[in-house]
Amino acid sequence: MDATAFEDKTTAPLSAPMHAARRHDSAHKHVAGSADYIDDMPEPAGTLHAALGMTDRAHAQILSMDFTDVEKAPGVVCVLTARDMPHSNDISPSHLDDEPVLADGLVQFHGQPAFAVIAETREQARRAARLAKIVYRDLPHVIDPADAIEQSAPLVTKPLTLKRGEAEAALDQSPRTLKGRMRIGGQEHFYLESHIAFAIPGEDDDVTVWSSTQHPSEVQHMVSHVLGVPSHAVTVQVRRMGGGFGGKETQGNQFAALAAVAAKKLNRPVKFRPDRDEDMTATGKRHDFVVDYEVGFDADGHILAVKANYAARCGFSSDLSGPVTDRALFHADNAYFYPHVLLTSQPLKTNTVSNTAYRGFGGPQGMVGGERMIEEVAYALGLDPLEVRKRNFYGEPGSGRDLTPYHQEVEDNIIARLVDELERDADYQARRKAILAFNETSRVIRKGIALTPVKFGISFTMTAFNQAGALVHVYQDGSIHLNHGGTEMGQGLYTKVAQVIADCFQVDLERVKITATTTGKVPNTSATAASSGSDLNGMAAFNAARQIKERLIAFAAERWQTTPDAIRFVPNHVEIGTERIPFPELVKLAYFARVHLSAAGFYKTPKIHWNRETGRGMPFYYFAYGASCSEVSIDTLTGEYMVDRVDVLHDVGRSLNPAIDIGQVEGAFVQGMGWLTTEELWWDDKGRLRTHAPSTYKIPLASDRPKIFNVKLADWSENRQPTIGRSKAVGEPPFMLPISVLEALSMAVASVDGYRQCPKLDAPATPERVLMAVERLKRG
């Protein structure tokens, strides 16, 4: 697209609705109960229902499967196994051919589906699925990532090394060094709407699949691959998801493929909605990590060298573990300059469900590890960790302290200003002093406070994914149909992109109809992931709208015999010289003059490049920044705690919609806080995940959110890159803000020993981990 044309637009004062706080486009339907999710759609006559047949071994050969009782059960129409996949039984998104739709002879994690039952009702399918008799031969299993390291377990994909300078030598020469290990737990997405796919067969090879997916194009490609039909035969649609958070980037493939196979085989619509427990057992989660680190530093807390290995529990297959563990390394520096650095990843194969994308995509784990190193240095020197942070921030471009471990320059650094502002606004120093005094006299309750920064790189590290398409139609009545490759999972993407279009044409938002994402309108799209939704789709849609607008301008200039610069789009009207006509009127005239009122838009992120072999490049178009300050109280008798107050200052560039962006920041904070506090995944010795439903897996409640919760956007920030409206991505970066909660808990624990030791509080910091850390420190 013409970047200069866009430049003109963004530097001019913009009228609403772009940059205005607008409600979510579906808000009214949400509260009325009339927003349709896939399970709410009317079912065509003859609709069948599917259920997963799950195995109960962590690692075993399947010797036999007997479906006699399953097939005799009421309502059962058929049973599908790996052999029934018409073309391929593989849905590996990394194309490593390591992810079967259904286990074929080998069970690699407890619960792995080995068959699917299709029945007249969902209840009949679920009941029947429990009646199979499977005979196994057990094989040894590895569940825990620390065990996997110990046993040098195989890797699911090639590891990454990031290297700058000579870390080993610099460690040897550092005045002080320390070593440590941190364990960081995984996380269940817990989207409120579990996975669902609804396949409706068509003529020839055709099938339409409604899928709750962040990546319709991939579902399309996987379904066509499994069926052995061209991609053009498969149409995938999604209007909205009941939450995604990365959990619906690749994990919907299985349900969509099975529903489509059954639908084509039986020539009847097939709906596949797993139960919550099945969803949590059979679909991937955030990766757990074990970080082994070594830091060299001086007496003032300046970090001189960092060497760290990031090992991850990837599960049985590669899925997205390669890029996830890469992104962990990309964020091990967070906002800090490491003069010498050596980072390695270790994507471990384990007999657990294959871990996958989750908001932050490895970045949070990388960052938590990096912040642990800062904390260790601070405790080793008896300094306030905030002081150590400030001393290690990246410098201005040209300072010699602006190069990341992957050799990208940090050109847009605003972290020092953000942190200073937050430190002042949150009254950090005075509150810290008061807390230190409180802890001196309080026997049972102890408090902690921490202020931590976030710097998060924006772009898919797989360069090809940084492209997007859109389709805009203007109808004769002036109403506008908007479609793009992005998906709506609650984050407000549809609203933001509609604002872009409405702004471009200067029409009311209501004139723009947001339509369900479908592979039939915009092809070859990327996942709505990596926080890139509005950056990519906003630009693609703008590009489409701009083409139509330019045609309208050309038409008007010709008809009114004037020059294009005499034509201005003003709210709901177009001014041509001194004449002013309503937008729909111009559209109608244009139609009769045979002006093409539809356009496909396209965008690709400029500048970025990345060479994984050399570990060098510019994987990120820009960085998003933020900082948070958290205060907590803990009970040193039980380990229970409360988050008393949180202050956040976050950078979204020039916000496309401050209401939506603040919602993203608040929501990400609480979700990230859950990851670091109460959300614990627990496997038993048989490799069974025992926390597979909300009764056992505890995401935050309203009463867990910070008691005082002040969230501010850095309204002075503008993206230095010409992104849509100079905004910045917002989905993932704020997820890492609650690292300050973990560290505030850590400070409260440290108080029992006069802050002499770093508590090394692992995540999630459940009440149990807090109490055990208190006990450890008391023992000295």
Partner 1 sequence: MTDESRAIRFILNDRTVTLDDVGPTTTLLDYLRLSRRLTGTKEGCAEGDCGACTVLVGRLAGDELVYEGVNACIRFVGSLHATHVVTVEHLAAKDGALHPVQQALVDYHGSQCGFCTPGFVMSLYGLWLSKDRPGRADIEKALQGNLCRCTGYEPIVRAAEAVGAARPDAVFDPILSMRDRVRTELKTIKTGETIVIGEGQRLVVPGSVAALAEVLENHPQATIVAGSTDVGLWVTKQMRQLSPVVFINGLDALQEITETPDGLTLGAGVTYSAAYPTLARLYPAFGRLIDRIGGDQVRNMGTIGGNVANGSPIGDTPPALIALGARLTLRSAKGTRVLPLEEFFIQYGRQDRQPGEFVESLFIPAAKPEDHFAVYKISKRRDEDISALCGAFHLTLDAQGKVATLRIAFGGMAGTPKRAAQAEAAMIGRTWNEETVALGQAALAGDYQPLTDWRASAAYRSLTAANLLTRFLLETTGQAAELTRFTGAA
Active centre residues (catalytic): 732
Per CB under 8 A, contacts with partner 1 among 71-100 are: none
Q: Is 56 in the site for partner 1 (CB under 8 A)?
A: no
The C-alpha atoms of residue 660 and residue 725 are separated, in whole angstroms, by 15
Tell me how far, at minimum, the Cβ of 204 lies from partner 1, in Å. 32
Tell me how far, at minimum, the Cβ of 127 lies from partner 1, in Å. 6
The residue within the footprint of partner 1, chosen from 335, 660, 676, 748 (CB under 8 A), is 660
Q: Is 28 in the site for partner 1 (CB under 8 A)?
A: yes
Q: Is 245 in the site for partner 1 (CB under 8 A)?
A: yes
Tell me how far, at minimum, the Cβ of 641 lies from partner 1, in Å. 7
Tell me how far, at minimum, the Cβ of 130 lies from partner 1, in Å. 7
Per CB under 8 A, contacts with partner 1 among 615-654 are: 633-635, 637-642
Q: Is 441 in the site for partner 1 (CB under 8 A)?
A: no
Q: Is 20 in the site for partner 1 (CB under 8 A)?
A: no
Instruction: Determine the interface stretch with partner 1 among 219-227, 238-246, 572-580, 749-757 (rule: CB under 8 A).
Output: 238-246
Per-residue burial over 735-768, b if 16 or more Cβ lie within 10 Å, else e, is bbbbbbbbbbbbbbbbbbeebebbbbbbbbbbee
Q: Is 33 in the site for partner 1 (CB under 8 A)?
A: yes
The reply to whether omega before 584 is within 30° of 0 (cis) is: no
Give me the numbers of helices (H) and strands (E) for the chain, helices first please.
20, 29
The C-alpha atoms of residue 545 and residue 714 are separated, in whole angstroms, by 30
Per CB under 8 A, contacts with partner 1 among 465-504 are: 489-492
Q: Is 146 in the site for partner 1 (CB under 8 A)?
A: no
Structure tokens at 767: 């009440």
Place of tokens 């020039």: 654
Query: Torsions phi, psi of 706, nearest 5?
Result: -50, 135
The tally of CA atoms less than 13 A away on the side-chain side of residue 54 is: 21
Q: Is 34 in the site for partner 1 (CB under 8 A)?
A: yes
Per CB under 8 A, contacts with partner 1 among 679-708 are: 680, 682, 684, 690-691, 693-696, 698-705, 707
Q: Give 285's DSSP letter.
A: -
The amino acid present at 391, given as its one-letter code, is R
Per CB under 8 A, contacts with partner 1 among 251-280 are: 275-277
Name every residue whose Cβ is closer than 8 Å to that of residue 229 and which is 6 or more positions away in sequence.
Answer: 87, 205
Tell me how far, at minimum, the Cβ of 256 lies from partner 1, in Å. 19
How large is the C-alpha radius of gyration of the chain? 27
Per CB under 8 A, contacts with partner 1 among 158-177 are: none
Name every residue whose Cβ is closer than 8 Å to that of residue 113 and which is 6 or more positions away in sequence.
Answer: 52, 53, 54, 55, 102, 103, 254, 282
Per CB under 8 A, contacts with partner 1 among 703-722 are: 703-705, 707, 709, 711
Per CB under 8 A, contacts with partner 1 among 179-218 are: 189-194
Tell me how far, at minimum, the Cβ of 22 lies from partner 1, in Å. 9
Tell me how far, at minimum, the Cβ of 635 lies from partner 1, in Å. 5
Q: Is 732 in the site for partner 1 (CB under 8 A)?
A: no
Q: Is 443 in the site for partner 1 (CB under 8 A)?
A: yes
Q: Is 127 in the site for partner 1 (CB under 8 A)?
A: yes
CB of 31 or CB of 430, closer to partner 1: 31
Structure tokens at 516: 């369900």
The reply to whether omega before 347 is within 30° of 0 (cis) is: no
The residue within the footprint of partner 1, chosen from 430, 444, 565, 780 (CB under 8 A), is 444
Nearest one of 493, 470, 479, 475 to 541, comparing CA atoms? 470
CB of 36 or CB of 98, closer to partner 1: 36
CB of 138 or CB of 775, closer to partner 1: 775
CB of 71 or CB of 402, closer to partner 1: 71
The amino acid present at 141, given as its one-letter code, is H
Secondary-structure percent of the chain, ordered helix, strand, coil, rounded to 5: 35, 25, 40
Q: Is 549 in the site for partner 1 (CB under 8 A)?
A: no
Nearest one of 193, 188, 486, 156 to 324, comparing CA atoms? 156
Question: How many residues form the binding site for partner 1 (CB under 8 A)?
Answer: 90
